[in-house]
Amino acid sequence: MKTEASAPAAETAATSQGSALAAARAGRRLEPRSMVRPAVIAALLACVLLFVPSIFSLYYVDAWTQVAIYSIVTLGLGLLVGRVGMVSLGQGAVLAMGAWVSARLLFATGLPFPLVLLAGGLITMVLGTLVGLPALRMSGLYLALITLMLAGAITVVLQNINFPNGGHGFTGYNASTVHIPPIRRPAIAASDPAFFRYSVVVAILMFLLVLVHLRGRPGRAWAAIRQSEAASLAGGINTTLFKLWAFALASFITGIAGGLVAGSFRYLNSLTFSTADSITLLAVVLMGGAYSMTGAIVAAFLLKFLQALLNDWGVSPDWLTILFGIGVLQVLTTAPRGIVEQMPKDLARLGRLIRGLLGRPTTTRESAE
Amino acid sequence: MPSTTDLEQFLVTGLSLGGVYALSGVGMVVLYRATGVLYLAFGAVGAMGALIAWQLSHQDGWNIWLSFAVAILFGGVITLVYGIIFGPALAGRDPLVKATATLGLLLILLGVMDLLWPSSGGASRSLTMPTDNNTFQVGQISVTYTNVIALALGLVITVVTAAFLRFTKLGTAMRAMANDREITAALGVPVRRVEAAAWFGCGVLSGVAGVLLADLVALDSTSLTFLVISTLAATLVGRLRSIVVTFVAALVIGLITAELTPVSSLSNYRDMTPFVVAAIALLVLNRRRVIMVGRQGV
Amino acid sequence: MISVSDLTVRFGGVTPLDRMTVNFERGTCGLIGPNGAGKTTFFNVLSGFVRPVEGTVHAFDEDLLKMTHYRRARWGVRRTFQTEQAIEELSVYDNVAMIHEHSKMTGGSRREDVLGAIEFVKLDIDPYAKVGSLGAAQRRLVEVARAVVGKPRLVLLDEPAAGLPDEETALLGDVIRAIPEHMGALVILVDHDMSLVSHCCEVTAVLDFGKLLASGPTEEVLRDERVIRAYLGTEEIAA
């Protein structure tokens, strides 16, 4: 017995939008993906690569290098927090691990720098995932707490085995070394400006890697998990696997960032990384917008460039710590998706306001906000 | 193998530290049960209180006990102000969000402390209580009155708080709120006032803990701020619920950390104790996996 | 047929399901009961979120409880939740396609199956629109589309019409009635709206305090004295 569903509302809607379904059936998308945005981004990046070293002094070129490197770290944390909904308070420790592994490999082997980066990334990925495995069964507060605990434990270990300084043995640390050799850099990127470009290129590659994930199956699964773990499981998604994958990806890219830190600083010690670092990392990621990739760059800028700027002006970096604390409170109480998500909305509102002042009518799409 | 005397001497340190972790843990658990906020800034507040006490007593020549009173009051007031402003703002949110917000307070306090009391490379500050000088001997070990106060306070506060929660109207109200804030409010309990009491009480305890730890450990903003991890570990063993278990766990953590000091092979790793204990507690706590319906993260 | 035998769930001093025994034969079956009767707990057992201390569930002669939760979707269990769970940042198409993808259906027929499911629930909109831009009624329909895509065997609908106005509820009722015939699945519908239950379900089971109170043809069950008494004091029985 066939049932006939025909109510007036459905019919009028069908005439204007039924064509949308038919169009989709025929394989036509109503709104084709625009090529403008990627082109603009590519152009911007090209300018950055070409001109930054000539515009800025060496001091600021190094600051921009730190921004590039740490944008990889904030990207990883943003992925965990913004896309999957896992707040990790341990990414600082993962970065330190990556730096340690890379430094060790750079001293112990003659492997070319890119290979060391890759190996460092992979080893950090394995270590980070192993250490993070117990966290995967948890959610919310307990996940955050256990990442904090594991990070703390790692920090204590690193403080004791110290960072490699050219010595022999497993830890590569020789306490009595007087003349510590610097960590080597890639042959093609020995100078600071060259290392800047190198870091930016690596950062671009990491961003692309994450983008590929987000556009594909893992990205959709992560969106589902963040929305509701129960519904994801009911939908057949192996949530543990995908959470593990997110953790592994974040650890991998953070490990590579660690390698870049090693090459950038050239001398590492346990003061380079501190417990508070993991917290300020979370703070800037929240402020910059955990959800968007642009947010990761904003976060890195907040973390590293402002620091360099204040240092140059003779202002204490403690003001930044205070700013980040205020930022966390502001973001959590008002803009749960971070300021970058908020920005397009604010800009749109501003645009409408201007249009209104100019006497132009606003389009229906904008006013439907 | 360290000598028995060594082990016994560090027993004293361990019990003192444990006592302070215990009174801190009690404060954090009560606040969590009343408001759902895990007060990660507990250590930072105490640290700043201790620095204020140092400033007043060692630099401005105030009476030492008055300085301590100011420090303790500071802890209570700052925590109360935070609770009044950000409690309602985040009231309905997940405990994760509430706890992350306290990290914001932590950062602000850390920044302020390092600005006002910069760590100048040379001289380090120290806060000493007059009771440090009063010592007595138990066999081969020397015990200061400070040690006694730390342990005694830990014990007393645990007992008093447990009784308070059980037998007083305010305490019962706090327990009720832990279960369901809305129903408690509907029953006519002045929820805001109960919360304010919890915030202030926890803040006072953080001031006390800050002063004691500054004396027992070091007067350093970062170390004191992150000693909250030891307290946190104890509260996690108590499943953020049981004050008695928190007390015992705090003593155990304090003892283990202290007793590892004379053990040369493990000494450097003794700071891992709270991390390891907390990690184990979390893993055991979460044996039965809870599957969440609804949005994750912040 | 889904046969439930002596299903018992116990935790923290509560027994949400108490030796529940019932068979769901075919078509669209209703499952009703007062608040706290155990209906959602029953669904949670079927989804694999809650482990029973006793009892068995056999779905089409297979032991459902032996499967890991996320594998049940692959086997053919689909479910909607009381609070809608469609993923806001993804499009309607992606929301439905994801279920298809994770139930290991072949990619070849995916497009047809997904668009077919969207059409089946009478959701006439651009399938590439983001779910976040849709209204409540449309989001519910996306949920139902997710529940019927890709050869489901057992469709669990937990208050799918909650918050919908009468007109939309009637439309939804027609869609639900058509699922067994068009999709070949057995449907269990939990709802408090008795007119919806009467409209869609030939048979209905009633839970009270975790026990089966009555089961049989819907009309008879709704007139059963015991059932009315169980609901006494609530206005949910609006005939």
Integer Cα distance of B177 and C149 in angstroms: 44
A237 contacts C70? CB cut-off 8 A:
yes
Which carries the bigger pLDDT value, residue B178 or residue C223? C223
**Cβ contacts of B34-37, under 8 Å, gap ≥ 24:** B34/B174, B34/B177, B34/B178, B34/B194, B34/B195, B34/B198, B35/B83, B35/B87, B35/B98, B35/B177, B35/B195, B35/B198, B35/B199, B36/B95, B36/B98, B37/B83, B37/B87, B37/B90, B37/B95, B37/B98, B37/B99, B37/B101, B37/B102
| Chain A residues close to C71, C-beta within 8 Å | 236
pLDDT of residue A167: 77
pLDDT above 90: residue B123 = no
* Cβ-defined contact of C85 to A5 (cutoff 8 Å): no
Residue A318 lies in a domain: yes
pLDDT-based confidence at B73, cuts 50/70/90? very high
ipTM of this model? 0.91
A165-174 tens-digit pLDDT: 877 777 778 7
Task: Give the pLDDT score at A151.
Answer: 85
- Write phi, then psi, for A361 (nearest 5 degrees): -70, 145
Q: Which fold has domain C2-85+152-231?
A: Rossmann fold (3.40.50)
Residue B150 one-letter amino acid: A
Tell whether A283 lies on the interface with B, counting CB pairs under 8 A. yes
A39 falls within a domain? no
Q: Which residue in chain C has the smallest CA separation from A2?
A: C178
For C203-228, what is the mean pLDDT?
87
- Give pLDDT, residue C130: 87
For domain B4-285, give its CATH number from 1.10.3470, 3.30.450, 1.10.150, 1.10.260: 1.10.3470
Q: What is the pLDDT of residue A15?
A: 44
Nearest to B291 among C49, C83, C85 (CB): C49
User: CB–CB of C98 and A224 under 8 A?
Assistant: yes
Identify all chain C residues contacting A11, using CB atoms and an 8 Å cutoff.
Answer: none
Q: Quick: pLDDT tens for B48-71.
A: 999 999 999 998 999 999 999 999
Chain B 263-292, residues with CB within 8 Å of chain C CB atoms: 291
Give A232 to chain B, closest Cα distance, Å.
9
DSSP type of residue A356: H
Closest partner residue to A87 among B233, B293, B298, by Cβ? B298
Cβ-based contacts of A18 with chain C (< 8 Å)? 124
User: Tens digits of per-residue pLDDT, A353-369?
Assistant: 766 666 555 443 333 33
Residue A92 lies in a domain: yes
How many angstroms separate the CA atoms of A124 and A237, rounded? Answer: 26
- Inspect the interface and report whether the beta carbons of C85 and A3 lie closer than 8 Å: no
Q: Which residues does chain A have with pLDDT short of 70?
A: 1-33, 335-351, 354-369
Q: Which residues of C touch B294 (CB under 8 A)?
A: 83
Which residues in C lie closer than 8 A to residue B291 (C-beta atoms)? 49
Amino acid at C171: L
CB contact under 8 A, C78 and A234: yes
Torsion on CA atoms A297, A299, A302, A303, rounded to nearest 10: -110
Cβ-Cβ contacts under 8 Å, A82 against chain C: none
Q: With contacts defined as CB-CB under 8 Å, which chain A residues touch B103?
A: 279, 282-283, 325, 328
Residue A152 lies inside a defined structural domain of this protein = yes
* Window C:146-205, CB contacts with A under 8 Å: 146, 167, 170-171, 174-175, 177-178
* Per-residue DSSP letter, A361: P
The chain A residues in contact with chain C (CB within 8 A) are 3-5, 7, 9-10, 13-14, 17-18, 20-21, 23-25, 29-31, 217, 220-221, 223-224, 227-228, 230-239
DSSP one-letter code for C91: B
In this predicted structure, what is the pLDDT of residue A33? 64
The overall average pLDDT reported for chain C is 86
Write out residues 157-186 of A within 8 Å (CB-CB) of B: 157, 159-160
Cβ within 8 Å, pair B296-A328: no
CA atoms within 13 A on the CB side of A327: 25
C238 pLDDT more than 60:
no
In this complex, do C81 and B291 lie within 8 Å of one another by their Cβ atoms? no
Cβ–Cβ below 8 Å for C85 and B293: yes
Is B47 a residue whose pLDDT tops 80?
A: yes
Residues C85, B291: C-beta atoms closer than 8 Å: no
Chain B environment of A320 (Cβ under 8 Å)? 111
Chain C nearest-CA distance from A302, in A, is 27
pLDDT at B122: 55
The structural domains of chain B, with segments of one domain joined by +, span 4-285
- The residues, any chain, with a CB within 8 Å of residue B27's CB and separated by 6 or more, are B39, B42, B201, B202, B204, B205, B206, B209
Contact B103 A280 (CB under 8 A): no
More reliable by pLDDT, C132 or B206: B206
Selected for mutation to probe chain A from C70, C94, C111, C158 (highest A CB count within 10 Å) is: C70
Which chain A residue has the Cα nearest residue C110? A25
Q: Are the beta carbons of A149 and B279 separated by less than 8 Å?
A: yes
What is the pTM (predicted TM-score) of this model? 0.86
**Which pLDDT value is given to residue A226?**
87
Chain B residues inside the 8 Å CB shell of C83: 293-294
Asked if residue A43 is part of any domain, the answer here is no
Residues above pLDDT 90, as percent of chain B: 55
Query: Residues in chain B, how many?
Result: 298
The predicted-structure confidence for B153-175, as pLDDT tens digits, reads as follows 999 999 999 998 888 888 888 87
pLDDT at A20: 64
Q: Which among C50, C99, C103, C46 has a CA at the least distance from the CA of C74? A: C103
- Answer whether C139 touches A (CB < 8 Å): no
Mean pLDDT calculated for residue range C189-201: 89
CATH of residue A79's domain is: 1.10.3470
- The Cα–Cα gap between A360 and B5 comes to 86
Q: What is the pLDDT of residue C192?
A: 86
Closest chain B C-alpha to C227 CA, distance in angstroms: 30
Residue in chain A lying closest to C167 (CA): A7
Question: Residue B291: closest CA among chain C residues belongs to which residue?
Answer: C49
Q: Could you tell me if B297 lies within 8 Å of chain C, comparing CB atoms?
A: no
Chain A window 133-162: which residues touch B at a Cβ cutoff of 8 Å?
134, 137-142, 144-146, 148-150, 152-153, 156-157, 159-160
> Using the beta-carbon criterion (under 8 Å), do B296 and A81 form an inter-chain contact?
no
Under DSSP, the state recorded for A304 is I
Which member of A4, A17, A233 has the closest CB to residue C69? A233
Neighbouring chains to C with at least 3 Cβ pairs closer than 8 Å: A, B
**B100, pLDDT greater than 90:** yes
- All residues of chain C having their beta carbon less than 8 Å from the beta carbon of residue B293 are 81, 83, 85
Give the total number of structural domains in chain A.
1
Tell me if B107 and A283 make a contact (CB, 8 A cut-off). Answer: yes
B vs C, Cβ pairs < 8 A, gives 5
How far apart CA C235 and CA A297 sit, in angstroms, is 56
